[in-house]
Amino acid sequence: MRTLATFESAAFNTTQPRDYFINPGCFGDDTSRWLMERLRQAGLTTDPEPGQEDFGWYFTFAVPDGQHCCVVSYRPSDSEGAAGAWITWIERERGFLGSVLGGRKRGISSAAVAAIHKALAAPEVANVRWHEQREFDRGQEDGSKEP
């Protein structure tokens, strides 16, 4: 199953580092909040606020099959003037031991993927592409329009 999506959007901050960013380029707080609101509008429960990592942001959300984590990161373009890409991936929410044992990549619900896919179907988002994590990690970024 494809659990990683890339997309483009000019609606979110990609240029102004905030005082609370762990790293200057740690964009995605507004993108995460927007996604969370879209999921709430679809009747799902999310964290009240996103959390921050050194590479981006994350939040948990619930589907009938269980808790999942959505991670959001921004990758600037290598080309001058070209748009960068937002990258988001879905993991299964696991406890500490389950995370250490690789459980975050197992048991990801198709309902969780469908919820993020539906949330990304918005006028402010373009060029959504879904990828298998291992293919994406190898640099194969063609992806598919559907998860």
* Residue pLDDT, tens place only, 95-133: 655 555 555 677 799 999 999 999 999 999 999 999 999
**Structural domains in the chain (count):** 1
Are the CB atoms for 70 and 61 separated by under 8 Å? yes
Q: For the segment 17-29, what is each residue's pLDDT rounded down to a tens digit?
A: 999 999 998 999 9
Residues above pLDDT 90, as percent of the chain: 81
Instruction: Say if 144 falls within a structural domain.
Output: no
Instruction: Say if 18 falls within a structural domain.
Output: yes
The range of the structural domain enclosing residue 29 comes to 4-137
Instruction: Say if 143 falls within a structural domain.
Output: no
H-assigned helices in 14-121: 29-41, 96-100, 110-120
pTM of model > 0.85: yes
Instruction: Say if 20 falls within a structural domain.
Output: yes
Instruction: Say if 106 falls within a structural domain.
Output: yes
Instruction: Say if 122 falls within a structural domain.
Output: yes
